[in-house]
Amino acid sequence: MEATRLARSVTAVLAFVMGLTGVPQAFGDEPRGEWSGVGAGLSDAGLALTVFDDGAGEALYAAGAFIEAGGNTVNCVAKWDGTEWSDLNGGVTAGTQAFISALAVFNDGTGDALYACGYFDNAGGVPVSHIAKWNGVQWSALGSGLSGGFAQGFALAVFDDGDGPALYAGGFFTHAGGTPANGIAKWDGQQWSALGGGLGGSPPQANVLAASDADSDLGAALWVGGVFQSAGGVPAENIAKWDGSEWLALGDGVDSDVYGLTIFDDASGDALYVGGEFTIAGDVDAAGVAKWDGSEWSSIGGLWFEPDVEPGVGYALTVFDDGTGPALYVSGVFAMAADVEALSIAKWDGSEWWALGEGITFEGEPGEPYAVTAGGTWTSPAALYASGDFDAAGGVSVDFIAAWTPAVPGDLNGDGCVDQADLGILLADWGCSGGECPGDCDGDGDTDQSDLGVLLTHWGDGCP
């Protein structure tokens, strides 16, 4: 009976709100949430993050140059299950300092597995060459791996070129499985193959890979960013597209190193977003971050230490929904995104930049978050994770890894659930204005019908 009365009350209030405003207003775009550490953190910089289910449920996997995670010896890669850190059968090592630069999940026909590349020659006691597979129990090699020059793997992605999904590896190498492959190669689960003539430069290296499928507005393609001057003999400045059979340039490319790539739809269709150390994309001024819509480059304001004076650097990009809809998140080394103060991490909603609290720092200056990824089912609500070289996030001391947990829109008492308790707070605060209003859901400094619209739109979110 009580639940029925409550439902009727909510329906009545909703009708009242719709009568005033047309429809319940959306939660304000300004990110609300808090930063926290991830357990006892890492002993050194994290370079890669991903989510993988080893059969025991989804978990966060971090990799980099660290030896310990949560105080335990893990050797460059570790698993966070939401409660504790654990190692992957001894991790990876090398005669000199080992590191893992990239992680990806791929099914070679035997089930999903975690793949890692970087600089290492041993994985869990198994001889490997800078790339290895973790099936949740043990490590294994991918043929004779990556070699040639000062061989290192920097990037991984899964792409279907029409012959089925395959794993693609990019980096600084000349051979894959003994096959000549300049900076990029394909692993189909059994053997390595080259992509045309690979990348050209002195020497070329692929720093990052991203894939779009046939259903995307961009079409099926593997996107490659790094430091190179050509791809398959085609002039291509630091960024190129592999369509499964040939290499294509992205206009005039970008004028310096590329470190991050991802696909994001800002409501005008899928586009490739690019982060790096460049200042020009095509013929457009674009400091540290730019957009390629499939035919032309455009700027989204740029990353800066001082706007139009000192450009910043974009390292990693990902798409995450904080409860207000999917948005692009960019991490790197910068103090501002366009004209918004945002230390080393920022949100682009398709039209505006937003800071995430006090951002990410090292000794009070902008930090260097090299990797970002959206969290999985082990947290509620989902969180955004960042790892790199930094000692604080949102003013909270952390060790090289941190989590941004967004507030649930309409959750006024902070219990993670939008329910009658929050409605009570809002109604008790009705009419408050001028800021510091406990019932303000949309961040405009007042408590009124738009806040009620937010709360009712998200009624029940986060509740058991």
The DSSP code sequence of 272-340 is: EEEEES-SEETTEE-SSEEEE-SS-EEE---EEEETTTEE-EEEEEEEEE-SS-EEEEEEEE-SEETTE
Radius of gyration of the chain from Cα atoms?
23
pLDDT value, residue 7? 45
Q: Are 87 and 139 in contact (CB under 8 A)?
A: no
pLDDT value, residue 424? 93
Q: Are 122 and 93 in contact (CB under 8 A)?
A: yes
Order of strands across the sheet that contains 199-200: 199-200, 230-231, 234-235
Per DSSP bridges, beta strands 68-69 and 72-73 are: antiparallel
pLDDT value, residue 381? 66
What's the predicted TM-score (pTM) here? Answer: 0.89
- CA atoms of 219 and 216, how far apart (whole Å): 5
Q: Are 168 and 161 in contact (CB under 8 A)?
A: no
Dihedral sign for Cα atoms in the order 70, 72, 73, 78: negative
- CA atoms of 92 and 461, how far apart (whole Å): 41
Element (H, E) at 422: helix 420-428
**Phi, psi for residue 269 in degrees, rounded to 5:** 110, 160
pLDDT value, residue 379? 65
For every one of its 464 residues, what pLDDT tens digit does the chain have, with 9 covering 90 and above?
444 444 444 444 444 444 443 333 333 457 888 999 999 999 999 999 999 999 999 999 999 999 999 999 999 999 999 999 999 999 999 988 999 999 999 999 999 999 999 999 999 999 999 999 999 999 999 999 999 988 999 999 999 999 999 999 999 999 999 999 999 999 999 999 999 999 999 899 999 999 999 999 999 999 999 999 999 999 999 999 999 999 999 999 999 999 999 999 999 999 999 999 999 999 999 999 999 999 999 999 999 999 989 999 999 999 999 878 899 999 999 999 999 999 999 999 999 999 999 999 999 999 999 999 998 667 666 899 999 999 999 999 999 999 999 887 888 887 778 999 999 999 999 999 987 899 998 878 899 998 898 888 888 877 77
pLDDT value, residue 462? 73
pLDDT value, residue 26? 38
pLDDT value, residue 155? 98
For 329, the token pair is 């998140």
Going from N- to C-terminal start, the domains of the chain cover 2-26+413-457
Q: Are 84 and 72 in contact (CB under 8 A)?
A: no
Dihedral sign for Cα atoms in the order 125, 131, 133, 134: positive
- CA atoms of 239 and 254, how far apart (whole Å): 7
- CA atoms of 131 and 92, how far apart (whole Å): 10
